[in-house]
Amino acid sequence: MMESTNTSFPDAGSSHVGGRAQKRRASGSQKVESPQKKQKPQPGRPCTRSQKKGKASVADGDNTPEPVGTTLSTTTLSPPSSQPPISSKIRAALCDSVEYWRAHQGGIQSNDKIASGMLLNGKTTPRDVIQAQVIVTTVGSGLKLGTDRKRIRTEDQKTTSKNYVALKNSMEIGKPIGIVVGKQAETKGHYTNNLLSVELINHYNVLDWFFITDIWSERQPTQRDGSSYMQYMVRLQSIQLDSHPWWLPQGQERANAHAIGDFHCRQFICQSCDTLSKEIFKEGWCCLKDTCSKFFQFSNADIDFNTLRYNENFLNERKQWISKAPLQKLVPELPIMESEHYGSESKFKRGIVCPTCKFASRRISWEGWKCENGCGFELSMIPRDVPMAQIHEEALKTMNKKHRKFYEIDARIGCASHNVAGYEVTSFYLPNTPENLKLGKAKFIGSVTIFRPMKSTRERKDGLDDLFQEIQKATRVGDVKLQRHPAFCRGSHMEELTSHFSCNMGADYKFGVVVETSNGFDTAPDPVMKALSRLTWSGAAAVALTADHVRACKLSVDSDSMPGNFIDFNEQLMLGYFQDSQISFHDDGEKELGPTVATLSLGSPSLMRFRGKKKAGFENTIGSDNVMLSFVLEHGDSVIMHGTKIHQHYEHAVYAEGVRRYALTCRYIRPEMIPDLERREKAIVNGKVPTYWQKQAYRGESTEAVYTV
């Protein structure tokens, strides 16, 4: 049965004219579906409400407000009737593998203010429902941490809520919503979802495609602090009513399964606001318009809001899904590298769904995918070599986007240019903190020097173009094994990987992300050693140039931070960037590091930014996030940071601007600062440059170059 657009609470005063029901205002509310005896609603009891208000915050999808007395089920759960179409132990793996739910944080995935996915995680509210074909849950968001460090609502939810807007927009266009169910800790090491009566093996599981049928406002059950506020609820219905609900126990798959027209939920018009509201509760009808003076008031004044339950007609009503767009596949197909692809485009860094066991798996290896469930499935997709013509095209596009500006700097940063054979060299001098300057300390605490090669330097035999091709070959044939590593929450279901791939050679280096050393310099591939040699030369040249400039211009610098001598590097970290990869703001301030860090950029251009740390106190910077220095790194550029206090007061980030970039970064690891004796001895051995490579050391582009190793 199709619902009427003009239905209201049963009223003997309503009448039918020409076969159509006509509404008429009364003291309570009225219905126009059938002439029945008028039922006059009586004022209900006002809700208890906390007087304390605070700024709304976004819920993270893993925490919902718990009402008084909430406990999680400890009963033995049945196995599900079948396997989920997609599941994962790690949230990020599922987010990487599907388009409709990529919410690494939060419960709602939306693009352009239109929701496409929703997470129903562990702890829920008492009125939430998951059936074979229907889901009822809160819209979410707007919660704050209470005094017990758990989330709680402190004010009525607003229609400006991000989640509300996204879900409302999706309802209006019939946007399919991919539903994911998760589970939360019940006790240490034991997880559950208290809406389901089946055991979930994995933390995150895809249900099916649903669409939104209703969004309404209601009073929430009483919270832990005794308060209750208005919140928005959403009802979703399965798009394919004949689909198999795997999340129900075996033998109960068709429980609450109904067809369109089997049930119809009555609607009534509120006499106070003249607005239609469905009769959604078993306990009776109430107005669901939150701005109405009779909002959420029942004819029975003794109704307990904490025990309200949705009525069967509301839950069992079925609607036809209407949308202009066809329904996409719930399980994405495996990626295919076509002839026009290089294999490092952004889509190839996404995860996959294992066709064997339906497990969502991240791309961890540069060479391709391996099922993280351990079933043995592998999909090899080694990136193809990117030609220099593509790199040049990307560089031109990036510089045009930056209006041909090589760099942007804060007025407090010093700048100097130098002439070195084969290179254009620019040095930036980073200022001390405002507080330290007030105390009369040195004006500058570090330098950032960029060596930009001439065309001839790049294109000559064994030049930087050739080195780029050698690095590509090394990663293609497996001489260098690049992998993504855990960035935080290592080993947990919230683990996140780095955006880039990496491999460490020489002495061990742990920069927040643990990257095990794969080779000492004695067994490192040739292109790695060539890059080390170039960076050792440019590092020494940068330190010498800085010292000369400081003396010539009588600059006030922190000599403890910026010593005048250079120490040869004993470690190299290679990073590989796919399209749209990045390394977010960080510092290289580990105590084991020497004062100089040098990076050679090969391949696609990138944007490097330096910003003052919050505690540094810099204000009125050139951009948002306290950015004070920003410059483009092109193929063949080297950047050298010199000064230990750079990492105390500044952070830097790099954003790839093309389809393939390698960053080879060298440091000096101070063995004496490594407390573990075995690791210290290993660092000394692995970081020693073989005699052959010492004899083959790069000495610049001219025999007349002043700065040689």
* Residue list, annotated binding site for 2-oxoglutarate: 586, 652
Residues 6+ apart with CB under 8 A from 480: 471, 474, 503, 518, 525, 528, 574
Dihedral of alpha carbons 554, 557, 559, 563, sign: negative
Q: Are 690 and 522 in contact (CB under 8 A)?
A: yes
| 69 burial type by CB count under 10 A (0-12 exposed, 13-18 middle, 19+ buried) | exposed
Rounded distance between C-alpha atoms, residue 648 and residue 593, angstroms: 13
Residues 6+ apart with CB under 8 A from 111: none
Residue list, annotated binding site: 586, 652
Long-range contacts for 437-443 (Cβ within 8 Å, ≥24 apart)? 441/558, 442/556, 442/557, 442/558, 442/559, 443/555, 443/556, 443/557
Q: Of 97, 106, 29, give the one whose Cα is nearest residue 62.
A: 106
Rounded distance between C-alpha atoms, residue 221 and residue 304, angstroms: 9
Rounded distance between C-alpha atoms, residue 577 and residue 345, angstroms: 10
Q: Of 594, 562, 587, give the one whose Cα is nearest residue 666.
A: 594
Residue 428, token pair as written in the block: 């930036």
Cα–Cα separations (whole angstroms), residue 504 to 36, 450, 608: 79, 23, 21
Phi, psi dihedrals of residue 525, rounded to the nearest 5°: -60, 155
Q: What is the dihedral of CA 589, 590, 591, 592, to 10 degrees?
A: -130
Rounded (5°) CA angle 602-92-517: 45
Residue 607, token pair as written in the block: 């944007």
Residues 6+ apart with CB under 8 A from 381: 335, 337, 343, 348, 367, 368, 369
Amino acid of residue 581: S
Residues 6+ apart with CB under 8 A from 390: 342, 658, 659
Q: Are 480 and 528 in contact (CB under 8 A)?
A: yes
Amino acid of residue 399: M
